[in-house]
Amino acid sequence: MSSISLIQSLEPQEAYVPNPRQMSDAPYAFHSNEYSFPTTDGVEPHSSSSDSAPSHSGSVPRQSHSRPQKSSHSSSRHRKSDRDKERDSRGSSSSSRLLSRIASRDERDTKHANAILMVTTERLDNERRRADKAEQRAIDALHRLRTANEATALARAETARANETLGLYKLQLEHAQREIHRAQDIVNQLERERAEAEAEAARARTTARKLKEERLVELAREEGRKEGYKEGYSRGKNMGYFEAKASSRREEKARSTPTVSPSQSRAPEPVDTRTRSSQSWTPRADPSPRTYGVAPPPVLR
C-alpha cells in the first residue's frame, strides 16, 4: 500500500454530533466500529516508479559519452541518496499526520460520547419528570374517582328522597285536581243561573220600558187634550168679543146716518178695515203652542 493511498484513507471526517430529538425518537446505539481506523502495521513506504523523484533528464542535459566512467557512478550514487532522503522525509511527515489524525479522531469520539451522555441524562430526567407527572395524574384520578363515587351515592340518595317527595306531591295534585273539578262544576252551575237571571232581568226591563212609554204617551195625549180645550176656549171667546163689538158699531152707524133718496147720489161708504178683518178672520190651529204659554209634550226615549 502506497503512502498516498494511506493519507487519502486518513482524510479528516466531519464529527458526528447526534440530534437530541432524533436521540429521543430512536434507541441509543453507539458502535465503536463506526469510526474505523486503517491498520498501520506492516505499512512500509516502498518506492515505485510514481513515488520516485522526478527525473532530471528534462532539466539536466545529457552528458556526452566522452566523459569518464567515474563521474557517471558518482552521479548515480548522489541521485540514490537524494531519493532515500526524500523517502525518509515523506515517511516521517505521513506518520506525524497519522498521529494528528488519530488524536483528532479520539477527540471527536470523546465529544460524541459526551454528547450522547448529555442527551441520555436529559432524556432520563425528562422520563423521570414524566413518570412523576403520570403518578401525580394517577393519584388525582383516583381522588376524582373516589369523589365521583361519593357524589354518585349521594345523588342516588337524593334521587330516592326526591322520588318519595314526588309521589306525595302527585297524590296532593290529584286531590287538588278533584277539588278543582268540583269547584268548576259549581262555578258552571252559578254561571248558568246568572245567565238565566240576567235574561229574566232583561225581559223585565223591556216590559217596564214599554209600560213606561205607554204611560208617557197616555199622559201626553191627556195633556194635549187639555191644552187644546183651553186654547179653543180662549180663541172662541176672543172671536165672540170682536164679532159683538163689530155688530154694535154697525148698528150705531146705521142709526146715526140720515135717510137719502135714491135719486141723490150717494158717496161710497168708508170701509172699516177692522170690521172686515174681523169678519174675514177664521180660527185655525196654531202650530206653535208656545205662544200661549203651553209647553210641548215630552219626548219619549
- For the segment 99-109, what is each residue's pLDDT rounded down to a tens digit? 888 888 888 88
Rg (CA), the chain: 81
Q: Which range, 32-41, 189-198, 253-262, has the best average confidence (pLDDT)?
A: 189-198
Cα–Cα distance, 156 to 163 (Å, whole number): 10
Q: How far apart are CA 182 and CA 188, in angstroms?
A: 10
**What confidence score (pLDDT) does residue 71 get?**
52
**pLDDT at 39 > cutoff 50:** no
What pLDDT is stored for residue 266 in this prediction? 52
Query: Whose CA is closest to 97, among 29, 39, 11?
Result: 11
Out of 50-59, 154-163, 229-238, give the one with best mean pLDDT: 154-163
Provide the grid cell at 266. 150717494
Q: What is the pLDDT averaged over residues 50-75?
A: 46
Q: What is the pLDDT of residues 256-272, one digit of tens each?
A: 875 555 454 454 454 44
Cα 95 from Cα 89, distance rounded (Å): 10
As a whole number of angstroms, the distance between CA 289 and CA 228 comes to: 9
C-alpha to C-alpha distances, 123 to 120, 128, 129, 134, 138, nearest whole angstrom = 5, 8, 10, 16, 22
Who contacts 35 (Cβ-Cβ below 8 Å, separation ≥6)? Answer: 13, 105, 108, 109
Q: Are 45 and 86 in contact (CB under 8 A)?
A: no
Confidence of residue 48 (pLDDT cuts 50, 70, 90): very low
Query: Mean pLDDT for the chain?
Result: 71
Q: What is the pLDDT of residues 127-146, one digit of tens each?
A: 999 999 999 999 999 999 99
All three cell numbers of 57, joined, read: 533528464
**Euclidean distance between CA atoms 294 and 299, whole angstroms:** 15
Name the E strands within 120-216: none
For the chain, give the percent of residues with pLDDT over 90.
34
Average pLDDT over residues 214-231: 89
- In the prediction, which pLDDT does 208 show? 93
Cell numbers 454530533 correspond to 17
Q: CA–CA separation, 215 vs 10, rounded Å?
A: 150
Give pLDDT, residue 181.
Answer: 93
* Angle, helices 273-280/69-256, rounded to nearest 10 degrees: 110
**Res. 195: pLDDT tops 90:** yes
Q: In the predicted model, what is the mean pLDDT of residues 91-102? A: 77
Q: How confident is the model at residue 152 (pLDDT cuts 50, 70, 90)?
A: very high
Which of residues 6 and 132 earns the better pLDDT score?
132
Q: Considering only CA atoms, which of 8, 6, 96 is closest in space to residue 44?
A: 6
> pLDDT: is 153 or 100 the higher one?
153
What is the pLDDT, as a whole number, of residue 76? 66
CA–CA separation, 297 and 219 (whole Å):
9
pLDDT at residue 248 in the model? 84
Q: Above 70 in pLDDT, residue 233? A: yes
